[in-house]
Amino acid sequence: MREALTVTQVNLYIKQVLGRDEILNNILVKGELSNFKAHSSGHMYMSLKDETGVMRAVMFRSAASRLTFKPANGMKVVARGRISVYERDGQYQLYIEHMEQDGIGDLHIAFERLKKKLDEEGLFSPSHKKPLPKYPRRIGVVTAPTGAAIRDILNILSRRFSYSDVVLYPVLVQGENSARSIVNAIQYFNMTNSADVLIVGRGGGSIEDLWSFNEEIVARAIYDSHIPVVSAVGHEIDFTIADFVADLRAPTPSAAAELVVPSQTELREKFNNVYSRLYTCANRIAERGRLRLKVLSESSALKNPLGYLDNNRIYLDSLQKSLENSYKSILNQKRQDIAVSASKLDALSPLSALSRGFSLTKDKSGKVVKSVKQLKHGDDIAVTLSDGSVDAVVK
Protein backbone atom coordinates (compact mmCIF):
# COMPACT_ATOMS: atom_id res chain seq x y z
CA MET A 1 0.00 0.00 0.00
CA ARG A 2 1.34 3.43 -0.97
CA GLU A 3 2.14 6.03 1.64
CA ALA A 4 -0.69 8.57 2.05
CA LEU A 5 0.07 12.16 1.02
CA THR A 6 -1.04 15.22 2.91
CA VAL A 7 -3.39 17.72 1.33
CA THR A 8 -0.57 20.22 1.10
CA GLN A 9 1.65 17.67 -0.68
CA VAL A 10 -1.09 16.92 -3.20
CA ASN A 11 -1.69 20.60 -3.88
CA LEU A 12 2.04 21.17 -4.32
CA TYR A 13 2.33 18.22 -6.69
CA ILE A 14 -0.54 19.47 -8.84
CA LYS A 15 1.07 22.91 -8.90
CA GLN A 16 4.34 21.38 -10.12
CA VAL A 17 2.52 19.38 -12.81
CA LEU A 18 0.71 22.47 -14.06
CA GLY A 19 3.98 24.42 -13.93
CA ARG A 20 5.63 22.01 -16.39
CA ASP A 21 2.81 22.38 -18.96
CA GLU A 22 3.90 24.77 -21.72
CA ILE A 23 0.34 25.67 -22.76
CA LEU A 24 -0.83 26.47 -19.22
CA ASN A 25 2.26 28.60 -18.55
CA ASN A 26 1.49 31.02 -21.37
CA ILE A 27 -2.20 30.83 -22.12
CA LEU A 28 -4.76 33.25 -23.57
CA VAL A 29 -8.23 33.11 -22.02
CA LYS A 30 -11.23 35.15 -23.09
CA GLY A 31 -14.35 35.62 -21.01
CA GLU A 32 -16.56 38.08 -19.18
CA LEU A 33 -15.41 39.74 -15.95
CA SER A 34 -17.44 38.93 -12.87
CA ASN A 35 -16.99 39.37 -9.09
CA PHE A 36 -14.36 42.01 -9.83
CA LYS A 37 -12.67 43.58 -6.80
CA ALA A 38 -9.80 46.07 -6.74
CA HIS A 39 -7.94 45.68 -3.44
CA SER A 40 -6.34 48.62 -1.64
CA SER A 41 -3.00 46.86 -2.11
CA GLY A 42 -3.32 47.32 -5.88
CA HIS A 43 -4.06 43.66 -6.61
CA MET A 44 -7.19 42.79 -8.58
CA TYR A 45 -9.33 39.73 -7.95
CA MET A 46 -12.00 38.52 -10.37
CA SER A 47 -13.63 35.66 -12.22
CA LEU A 48 -13.72 34.96 -15.95
CA LYS A 49 -16.87 33.31 -17.20
CA ASP A 50 -18.65 32.23 -20.32
CA GLU A 51 -22.02 30.58 -20.93
CA THR A 52 -21.21 27.41 -18.99
CA GLY A 53 -18.02 27.88 -16.97
CA VAL A 54 -16.26 30.10 -14.43
CA MET A 55 -12.56 30.50 -13.66
CA ARG A 56 -11.00 32.39 -10.77
CA ALA A 57 -8.27 34.90 -11.65
CA VAL A 58 -5.91 37.34 -10.01
CA MET A 59 -3.83 40.22 -11.37
CA PHE A 60 -1.08 41.46 -9.10
CA ARG A 61 -0.28 45.14 -8.69
CA SER A 62 2.76 45.15 -10.98
CA ALA A 63 0.68 43.87 -13.91
CA ALA A 64 -2.47 45.83 -12.97
CA SER A 65 -0.54 49.12 -13.04
CA ARG A 66 0.06 48.65 -16.79
CA LEU A 67 -3.64 48.41 -17.68
CA THR A 68 -4.91 50.99 -20.18
CA PHE A 69 -8.58 50.66 -19.10
CA LYS A 70 -10.57 50.30 -15.89
CA PRO A 71 -11.93 46.77 -15.52
CA ALA A 72 -15.54 46.36 -14.47
CA ASN A 73 -18.09 43.61 -14.11
CA GLY A 74 -19.68 42.68 -17.43
CA MET A 75 -16.66 43.52 -19.60
CA LYS A 76 -15.44 40.95 -22.09
CA VAL A 77 -11.66 40.62 -21.96
CA VAL A 78 -8.77 38.57 -23.30
CA ALA A 79 -6.27 37.71 -20.55
CA ARG A 80 -2.77 36.30 -20.94
CA GLY A 81 -1.05 34.55 -18.09
CA ARG A 82 -0.41 31.22 -16.42
CA ILE A 83 -2.62 28.73 -14.65
CA SER A 84 -1.48 27.43 -11.29
CA VAL A 85 -2.83 26.18 -7.99
CA TYR A 86 -3.35 28.34 -4.95
CA GLU A 87 -2.05 25.82 -2.45
CA ARG A 88 -3.97 27.03 0.59
CA ASP A 89 -7.39 26.60 -1.02
CA GLY A 90 -6.48 23.82 -3.41
CA GLN A 91 -8.08 25.72 -6.29
CA TYR A 92 -6.52 26.54 -9.61
CA GLN A 93 -6.68 30.07 -10.93
CA LEU A 94 -5.39 32.22 -13.74
CA TYR A 95 -2.53 34.55 -12.81
CA ILE A 96 -3.00 37.37 -15.31
CA GLU A 97 0.05 39.19 -16.67
CA HIS A 98 -1.70 41.17 -19.41
CA MET A 99 -5.34 41.93 -20.20
CA GLU A 100 -7.19 43.69 -23.02
CA GLN A 101 -10.83 44.49 -23.66
CA ASP A 102 -12.67 42.17 -26.00
CA GLY A 103 -15.98 44.05 -26.20
CA ILE A 104 -18.79 44.58 -23.70
CA GLY A 105 -20.63 41.75 -21.98
CA ASP A 106 -24.24 40.91 -22.74
CA LEU A 107 -25.45 41.99 -19.30
CA HIS A 108 -23.67 45.30 -19.64
CA ILE A 109 -25.30 45.87 -23.04
CA ALA A 110 -28.72 45.07 -21.58
CA PHE A 111 -28.03 47.43 -18.66
CA GLU A 112 -27.11 50.36 -20.92
CA ARG A 113 -30.06 49.72 -23.25
CA LEU A 114 -32.62 49.74 -20.42
CA LYS A 115 -30.95 52.72 -18.75
CA LYS A 116 -31.22 54.74 -21.97
CA LYS A 117 -34.86 53.73 -22.48
CA LEU A 118 -35.99 54.65 -18.97
CA ASP A 119 -34.01 57.87 -18.98
CA GLU A 120 -35.76 58.98 -22.19
CA GLU A 121 -39.12 58.20 -20.57
CA GLY A 122 -38.26 60.50 -17.65
CA LEU A 123 -37.99 57.86 -14.91
CA PHE A 124 -34.68 59.37 -13.74
CA SER A 125 -35.92 62.99 -13.77
CA PRO A 126 -34.96 64.98 -10.64
CA SER A 127 -38.39 66.63 -10.73
CA HIS A 128 -39.96 63.28 -9.82
CA LYS A 129 -37.71 62.70 -6.79
CA LYS A 130 -39.61 62.86 -3.50
CA PRO A 131 -38.00 64.24 -0.32
CA LEU A 132 -37.48 61.88 2.59
CA PRO A 133 -39.47 62.50 5.78
CA LYS A 134 -37.36 64.10 8.52
CA TYR A 135 -38.72 61.94 11.33
CA PRO A 136 -40.18 58.71 9.89
CA ARG A 137 -42.42 56.77 12.24
CA ARG A 138 -42.28 53.52 10.23
CA ILE A 139 -39.46 52.40 7.95
CA GLY A 140 -40.15 49.64 5.43
CA VAL A 141 -37.20 47.42 4.48
CA VAL A 142 -37.29 45.31 1.32
CA THR A 143 -34.42 42.82 1.40
CA ALA A 144 -33.50 39.24 2.25
CA PRO A 145 -34.42 38.17 5.80
CA THR A 146 -30.90 36.87 6.39
CA GLY A 147 -27.50 38.28 5.56
CA ALA A 148 -25.36 41.27 6.41
CA ALA A 149 -27.66 43.86 4.80
CA ILE A 150 -30.61 43.44 7.19
CA ARG A 151 -28.31 43.08 10.20
CA ASP A 152 -26.49 46.31 9.37
CA ILE A 153 -29.75 48.21 8.73
CA LEU A 154 -31.37 47.10 11.99
CA ASN A 155 -28.22 47.78 14.00
CA ILE A 156 -27.79 51.33 12.71
CA LEU A 157 -31.50 52.23 12.93
CA SER A 158 -31.73 51.06 16.55
CA ARG A 159 -28.59 52.93 17.50
CA ARG A 160 -29.18 56.11 15.50
CA PHE A 161 -32.94 56.69 15.96
CA SER A 162 -34.73 54.20 18.18
CA TYR A 163 -38.10 55.98 17.91
CA SER A 164 -38.94 54.52 14.47
CA ASP A 165 -40.61 51.17 13.91
CA VAL A 166 -38.97 48.91 11.31
CA VAL A 167 -41.13 46.67 9.10
CA LEU A 168 -39.26 43.99 7.13
CA TYR A 169 -40.83 42.51 4.01
CA PRO A 170 -38.56 39.51 3.25
CA VAL A 171 -37.84 38.99 -0.47
CA LEU A 172 -35.60 37.09 -2.83
CA VAL A 173 -32.72 39.33 -3.87
CA GLN A 174 -31.25 37.17 -6.65
CA GLY A 175 -32.21 34.35 -8.94
CA GLU A 176 -35.48 33.39 -10.56
CA ASN A 177 -38.61 35.28 -9.43
CA SER A 178 -36.53 37.67 -7.31
CA ALA A 179 -37.55 40.75 -9.33
CA ARG A 180 -41.25 39.91 -8.93
CA SER A 181 -40.69 39.33 -5.20
CA ILE A 182 -39.20 42.83 -4.84
CA VAL A 183 -42.06 44.39 -6.85
CA ASN A 184 -44.66 42.68 -4.65
CA ALA A 185 -43.04 44.10 -1.52
CA ILE A 186 -42.97 47.67 -2.86
CA GLN A 187 -46.59 47.45 -3.97
CA TYR A 188 -47.66 46.01 -0.61
CA PHE A 189 -46.24 48.96 1.33
CA ASN A 190 -47.93 51.39 -1.07
CA MET A 191 -51.33 49.69 -0.94
CA THR A 192 -51.32 49.46 2.87
CA ASN A 193 -49.59 52.80 3.55
CA SER A 194 -47.63 50.94 6.20
CA ALA A 195 -44.36 52.89 5.90
CA ASP A 196 -43.17 56.49 5.62
CA VAL A 197 -40.02 55.57 3.68
CA LEU A 198 -38.66 52.41 2.03
CA ILE A 199 -35.16 50.96 1.94
CA VAL A 200 -34.84 48.60 -1.03
CA GLY A 201 -31.59 46.71 -1.51
CA ARG A 202 -29.12 43.98 -0.66
CA GLY A 203 -25.43 43.41 0.02
CA GLY A 204 -22.69 43.29 -2.59
CA GLY A 205 -22.12 40.69 -5.28
CA SER A 206 -21.41 40.16 -8.95
CA ILE A 207 -23.40 41.82 -11.70
CA GLU A 208 -25.39 38.60 -11.96
CA ASP A 209 -26.15 38.66 -8.23
CA LEU A 210 -27.40 42.25 -8.42
CA TRP A 211 -29.32 41.83 -11.66
CA SER A 212 -32.77 41.72 -10.02
CA PHE A 213 -32.33 45.46 -9.30
CA ASN A 214 -31.68 46.07 -13.01
CA GLU A 215 -35.03 44.61 -14.06
CA GLU A 216 -37.54 46.97 -15.69
CA ILE A 217 -40.45 45.86 -13.47
CA VAL A 218 -38.47 46.78 -10.36
CA ALA A 219 -37.59 50.19 -11.80
CA ARG A 220 -41.22 50.96 -12.64
CA ALA A 221 -42.42 49.80 -9.22
CA ILE A 222 -39.99 52.19 -7.56
CA TYR A 223 -41.05 55.01 -9.90
CA ASP A 224 -44.77 54.41 -9.19
CA SER A 225 -44.29 54.32 -5.42
CA HIS A 226 -45.88 57.26 -3.60
CA ILE A 227 -43.66 56.35 -0.63
CA PRO A 228 -40.09 57.71 -0.97
CA VAL A 229 -37.64 54.93 -1.88
CA VAL A 230 -33.95 54.73 -0.96
CA SER A 231 -31.98 52.31 -3.14
CA ALA A 232 -29.22 50.50 -1.26
CA VAL A 233 -27.76 47.86 -3.55
CA GLY A 234 -24.30 46.37 -3.23
CA HIS A 235 -21.16 48.33 -2.49
CA GLU A 236 -20.23 51.93 -3.23
CA ILE A 237 -18.83 51.06 -6.68
CA ASP A 238 -21.96 49.15 -7.72
CA PHE A 239 -24.65 50.97 -9.71
CA THR A 240 -28.02 49.52 -10.72
CA ILE A 241 -31.08 50.82 -12.56
CA ALA A 242 -32.84 50.98 -9.18
CA ASP A 243 -30.25 53.54 -8.03
CA PHE A 244 -31.12 55.90 -10.88
CA VAL A 245 -34.91 55.72 -10.50
CA ALA A 246 -35.03 55.80 -6.68
CA ASP A 247 -35.63 59.04 -4.80
CA LEU A 248 -32.22 58.66 -3.18
CA ARG A 249 -29.29 56.34 -3.78
CA ALA A 250 -27.27 55.05 -0.84
CA PRO A 251 -23.86 53.49 -1.52
CA THR A 252 -24.52 50.63 0.94
CA PRO A 253 -27.40 49.32 3.08
CA SER A 254 -25.65 50.73 6.15
CA ALA A 255 -25.49 54.17 4.55
CA ALA A 256 -29.20 53.94 3.70
CA ALA A 257 -30.05 53.41 7.36
CA GLU A 258 -28.09 56.54 8.27
CA LEU A 259 -29.77 58.60 5.55
CA VAL A 260 -33.40 57.82 6.40
CA VAL A 261 -33.29 58.83 10.09
CA PRO A 262 -31.72 61.69 12.04
CA SER A 263 -29.25 61.15 14.83
CA GLN A 264 -31.06 61.13 18.16
CA THR A 265 -27.79 62.16 19.82
CA GLU A 266 -27.59 65.28 17.66
CA LEU A 267 -31.29 66.00 18.23
CA ARG A 268 -30.79 65.71 21.97
CA GLU A 269 -27.91 68.18 21.82
CA LYS A 270 -30.01 70.61 19.78
CA PHE A 271 -32.88 70.27 22.26
CA ASN A 272 -30.54 70.95 25.19
CA ASN A 273 -29.16 74.05 23.43
CA VAL A 274 -32.67 75.39 22.75
CA TYR A 275 -33.72 74.64 26.32
CA SER A 276 -30.65 76.47 27.63
CA ARG A 277 -31.39 79.54 25.49
CA LEU A 278 -35.06 79.58 26.55
CA TYR A 279 -34.07 79.23 30.21
CA THR A 280 -31.63 82.15 29.91
CA CYS A 281 -34.22 84.29 28.10
CA ALA A 282 -36.88 83.53 30.74
CA ASN A 283 -34.49 84.53 33.52
CA ARG A 284 -33.77 87.84 31.78
CA ILE A 285 -37.48 88.59 31.40
CA ALA A 286 -38.10 87.73 35.03
CA GLU A 287 -35.22 89.95 36.13
CA ARG A 288 -36.55 92.89 34.11
CA GLY A 289 -39.97 92.33 35.70
CA ARG A 290 -38.45 92.34 39.18
CA LEU A 291 -36.65 95.63 38.42
CA ARG A 292 -39.84 97.27 37.14
CA LEU A 293 -41.75 96.10 40.19
CA LYS A 294 -39.04 97.51 42.41
CA VAL A 295 -39.22 100.89 40.66
CA LEU A 296 -43.00 100.95 41.01
CA SER A 297 -42.83 99.99 44.67
CA GLU A 298 -40.58 102.96 45.32
CA SER A 299 -42.73 105.40 43.34
CA SER A 300 -45.59 107.57 44.65
CA ALA A 301 -48.07 105.44 42.75
CA LEU A 302 -47.97 102.79 45.42
CA LYS A 303 -47.19 105.00 48.37
CA ASN A 304 -50.13 107.38 47.71
CA PRO A 305 -52.36 105.78 45.01
CA LEU A 306 -55.26 108.29 45.44
CA GLY A 307 -52.94 111.25 45.03
CA TYR A 308 -51.33 109.57 42.05
CA LEU A 309 -54.78 109.14 40.43
CA ASP A 310 -55.79 112.75 41.16
CA ASN A 311 -52.63 114.09 39.56
CA ASN A 312 -53.20 111.98 36.49
CA ARG A 313 -56.85 113.13 36.25
CA ILE A 314 -55.70 116.78 36.30
CA TYR A 315 -53.12 116.00 33.64
CA LEU A 316 -55.75 114.30 31.46
CA ASP A 317 -58.15 117.26 31.83
CA SER A 318 -55.37 119.59 30.75
CA LEU A 319 -54.65 117.44 27.71
CA GLN A 320 -58.37 117.36 26.80
CA LYS A 321 -58.70 121.18 26.93
CA SER A 322 -55.56 121.64 24.91
CA LEU A 323 -56.87 119.20 22.31
CA GLU A 324 -60.24 120.99 22.07
CA ASN A 325 -58.58 124.42 21.63
CA SER A 326 -56.28 123.04 18.94
CA TYR A 327 -59.24 121.45 17.15
CA LYS A 328 -61.25 124.76 17.17
CA SER A 329 -58.28 126.75 15.95
CA ILE A 330 -57.61 124.37 13.08
CA LEU A 331 -61.31 124.29 12.13
CA ASN A 332 -61.58 128.13 11.99
CA GLN A 333 -58.45 128.34 9.87
CA LYS A 334 -59.82 125.79 7.41
CA ARG A 335 -63.12 127.72 7.15
CA GLN A 336 -61.25 130.92 6.30
CA ASP A 337 -59.19 129.11 3.69
CA ILE A 338 -62.35 127.71 2.06
CA ALA A 339 -64.00 131.18 1.97
CA VAL A 340 -60.94 132.72 0.27
CA SER A 341 -60.82 129.92 -2.30
CA ALA A 342 -64.57 130.29 -3.04
CA SER A 343 -64.14 134.01 -3.59
CA LYS A 344 -61.29 133.41 -6.06
CA LEU A 345 -63.31 130.82 -7.93
CA ASP A 346 -66.32 133.18 -8.13
CA ALA A 347 -64.16 135.94 -9.63
CA LEU A 348 -62.94 133.58 -12.33
CA SER A 349 -66.39 132.17 -13.13
CA PRO A 350 -67.96 133.24 -16.47
CA LEU A 351 -71.34 133.46 -14.73
CA SER A 352 -69.97 136.31 -12.66
CA ALA A 353 -69.25 138.30 -15.84
CA LEU A 354 -72.78 137.62 -17.12
CA SER A 355 -74.28 139.10 -13.98
CA ARG A 356 -72.54 142.39 -14.81
CA GLY A 357 -74.38 142.70 -18.20
CA PHE A 358 -72.20 140.61 -20.44
CA SER A 359 -73.57 137.81 -22.65
CA LEU A 360 -72.22 134.68 -24.39
CA THR A 361 -73.06 134.13 -28.10
CA LYS A 362 -72.82 130.76 -29.87
CA ASP A 363 -73.56 129.79 -33.48
CA LYS A 364 -75.88 126.94 -34.45
CA SER A 365 -73.03 124.41 -34.07
CA GLY A 366 -72.49 125.51 -30.47
CA LYS A 367 -69.20 127.26 -31.18
CA VAL A 368 -68.55 130.47 -29.25
CA VAL A 369 -68.73 133.61 -31.44
CA LYS A 370 -65.78 135.90 -30.76
CA SER A 371 -66.00 138.14 -33.87
CA VAL A 372 -68.69 139.47 -36.26
CA LYS A 373 -66.64 137.97 -39.05
CA GLN A 374 -67.82 134.54 -37.92
CA LEU A 375 -71.47 135.47 -38.80
CA LYS A 376 -73.49 136.37 -41.85
CA HIS A 377 -77.00 137.56 -42.59
CA GLY A 378 -79.69 135.04 -41.60
CA ASP A 379 -77.50 132.89 -39.26
CA ASP A 380 -79.19 131.40 -36.23
CA ILE A 381 -77.48 132.21 -32.95
CA ALA A 382 -78.04 131.54 -29.24
CA VAL A 383 -77.39 134.29 -26.68
CA THR A 384 -76.79 133.32 -23.04
CA LEU A 385 -77.57 135.92 -20.35
CA SER A 386 -77.19 135.81 -16.56
CA ASP A 387 -80.73 134.51 -16.00
CA GLY A 388 -81.33 132.43 -19.15
CA SER A 389 -80.79 132.27 -22.92
CA VAL A 390 -82.59 133.42 -26.15
CA ASP A 391 -82.49 132.26 -29.78
CA ALA A 392 -81.95 134.99 -32.40
CA VAL A 393 -81.34 135.59 -36.14
CA VAL A 394 -78.59 137.83 -37.52
CA LYS A 395 -79.94 140.83 -39.59
CATH code (residue 92): 2.40.50.140
Clarify whether residues 119 and 258 are in a common domain: yes
Question: Over 90: is that where the pLDDT of 147 sits?
Answer: no
Clarify whether residues 252 and 219 are in a common domain: yes
Question: Over 90: is that where the pLDDT of 83 sits?
Answer: yes
Clarify whether residues 139 and 235 are in a common domain: yes
Look at residues 312, 328, 346 and tell me which one is the last residue of a structural domain.
346
Q: Answer whether residue 38 is part of any domain.
A: yes
Structure confidence at residue 103 (pLDDT) = 64
Q: Answer whether residue 1 is part of any domain.
A: no
Q: Write out the residue range of the structural domain in which residue 323 sits.
A: 303-346
Residue 255 maps to which CATH number?
Answer: 3.40.50.10550
The gap from C-alpha 242 to its chain's centroid, in whole angstroms, comes to 18
- What's the DSSP call for residue 300? H
pLDDT digits (tens, 9 = 90+) for 5-30: 888 888 888 888 888 888 999 999 99
Clarify whether residues 380 and 245 are in a common domain: no
Q: Give the confidence band of 90 by pLDDT, cuts at 50, 70, 90.
A: confident
Clarify whether residues 377 and 339 are in a common domain: no
Inter-residue contact 101 to 77 (CB < 8 Å): yes
Q: Answer whether residue 2 is part of any domain.
A: no
Question: Over 60: is that where the pLDDT of 301 sits?
Answer: no
Nearest 5 degrees, angle CA 49-CA 53-CA 55? 60
Clarify whether residues 294 and 307 are in a common domain: no
Look at residues 54, 71, 104 and tell me which one is the last residue of a structural domain.
104
Structure confidence at residue 311 (pLDDT) = 76
Q: Answer whether residue 69 is part of any domain.
A: yes
Mean pLDDT, the chain, as a whole number?
Answer: 89
Clarify whether residues 177 and 254 are in a common domain: yes
d(CA 75, CA 30): 11
Structure confidence at residue 352 (pLDDT) = 67
Q: Answer whether residue 225 is part of any domain.
A: yes
Average pLDDT over residues 124-149: 94
CA neighbours closer than 13 Å in the CB half-sphere of residue 345: 6
Strand 165-170: give its sheet, edge to edge.
Answer: 165-170, 138-143, 197-202, 229-233, 248-249
d(CA 101, CA 30): 9
Classify residue 186 by burial, with Cβ atoms within 10 Å: 0-12, 13-18, 19+.
Answer: buried
Structure confidence at residue 180 (pLDDT) = 97
In SS3 terms, 345-366 reads as: HHHHCHHHHHCCCCCEEEECCC
Closest C-alpha among 176, 149, 173, 165 to residue 242 = 173
Closest C-alpha among 95, 60, 61 to residue 81 = 95
Clarify whether residues 98 and 195 are in a common domain: no
3-state secondary structure of 294: helix
Clarify whether residues 272 and 375 are in a common domain: no
| pTM of the shown model | 0.55
Average pLDDT over residues 233-237: 83
d(CA 213, CA 234): 10
Structure confidence at residue 66 (pLDDT) = 92
Average pLDDT over residues 231-248: 91
